[in-house]
């Protein structure tokens, strides 16, 4: 019997986690099944327990259940504790043992930036958005010793709240928050769009002066083509623009390592996923 894993969410049809985990498993000769599991908004815990009782060994968790996944686990990694959210659950074989929760989103972003040769030490970083994704990546980004991280959000109170909460992890880094319209007029080395705005072709109101020849623009959203945020940065002379596909693959690789004790090579799976997304887009055109 192959080991059973799943990704749980609502909606879930769009998820490409099965493709990624099955590709990792083929690469390392591991026999597993990995399915998509839809759960009703008020039925997360029940769905998790049923999957576990049916022999499930682990789960990835996506919108809107990451906070509930964190609450459900009796043991948690430090990075899940920091994020107060979990995207990975581990079910020990014995149901007497508690569920373990981890959050691999932040390390996924940091590993993707490293994959592209980006070093954050001494750099100025701007993060747009102060939701769950920003919460998950803040501590790992601070761990890279940037000179500054500015969190800008539509509702500035959420940005201020995150800054206060993570101030103890800031060290020498200048960590501050502001409203989206209040971003200071100066160049950043890295601008991360951690809002879902690109998914509806919306662009946060940003001054042109944020981007220059040394700027890397990173959109956590991804699609068959460059997002509107990536296009905006490219038109203003950004050094490099990246989408969140690499982060998705890297966070999956971290979950996979946790479950199977082996680290897959992410490079070929990035290519596979890019091809799959482009093929799906071509078919709907």
Instruction: Please identify, using beta-carbon distances, which residue of 99 and 247 lies nearer to ligand NDP.
Output: 247
CB of 98 to ligand NDP, least distance (A): 25
H or E segment at 127?
strand 124-128
Instruction: Please identify, using beta-carbon distances, which residue of 56 and 204 lies nearer to ligand NDP.
Output: 204
Contacting positions for ligand NDP (CB under 6 A): 105, 108, 129-134, 153-155, 158, 194-197, 199, 202, 204, 220-221, 244, 247-248, 251
Instruction: Please identify, using beta-carbon distances, which residue of 56 and 129 lies nearer to ligand NDP.
Output: 129
CB of 35 to ligand NDP, least distance (A): 19
Instruction: Please identify, using beta-carbon distances, which residue of 72 and 85 lies nearer to ligand NDP.
Output: 85
Report the C-alpha gap between 137 and 120 in whole angstroms: 13
36, 66, 119, 123: which is the annotated catalytic residue? 66
Query: Exposure string (b/e) for 31-42, b if CB count within 10 Å is 16 or more?
Result: ebbbebbebeee
**DSSP result, 60-74:** EE-TT-HHHHHHH-S
CB of 29 to ligand NDP, least distance (A): 26
Report the C-alpha gap between 108 and 150 in whole angstroms: 20
Q: Which residues make beta-bridge pairs with 175?
A: 149
CB of 99 to ligand NDP, least distance (A): 21
If phi > 0 it is left, if psi is from -120 to 50 it is alpha, else beta; for residue 64 that is alpha
Known active-site residue 123: no
Residues designated catalytic:
66
């Amino acid at each position: 019997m192959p080991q059973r894993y799943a990704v749980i969410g609502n909606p879930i049809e769009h998820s490409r986690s099965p493709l990624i985990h099955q590709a990792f498993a083929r690469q390392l000769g591991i026999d597993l099944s990995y399915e998509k599991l839809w759960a009703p908004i008020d039925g997360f815990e029940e769905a998790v327990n049923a999957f576990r009782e049916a022999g499930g060994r682990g789960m990835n968790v996506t919108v809107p259940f990451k906070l509930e996944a964190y609450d459900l686990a009796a043991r948690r990694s430090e990075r899940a504790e920091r994020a107060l959210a979990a995207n990975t659950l581990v079910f020990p074989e014995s149901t007497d043992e508690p569920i373990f929760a981890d959050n691999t989103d932040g390390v996924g972003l940091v590993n993707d930036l490293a994959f592209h040769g980006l070093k954050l030490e001494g750099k100025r970083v701007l993060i747009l958005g102060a939701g769950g994704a920003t919460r998950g990546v803040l501590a790992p980004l601070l761990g890279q010793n940037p000179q500054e991280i500015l969190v800008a959000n539509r509702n500035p109170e959420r940005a201020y709240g995150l800054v206060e909460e993570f101030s103890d992890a800031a060290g020498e880094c200048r960590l501050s928050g502001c409203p989206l319209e209040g971003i200071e007029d100066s160049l950043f080395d890295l601008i991360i769009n951690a809002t879902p705005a690109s998914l509806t072709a919306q662009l946060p109101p940003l001054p042109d002066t944020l981007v220059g020849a040394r700027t890397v623009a990173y959109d956590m959203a991804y699609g068959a083509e460059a997002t509107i945020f990536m296009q905006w940065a490219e038109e203003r002379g950004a050094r490099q623009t990246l989408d969140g596909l690499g982060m998705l693959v890297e966070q999956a690789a971290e979950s996979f390592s946790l479950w199977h004790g082996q680290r897959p090579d992410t490079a070929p799976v990035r290519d596979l996923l890019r091809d799959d997304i482009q093929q799906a887009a071509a078919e709907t055109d």
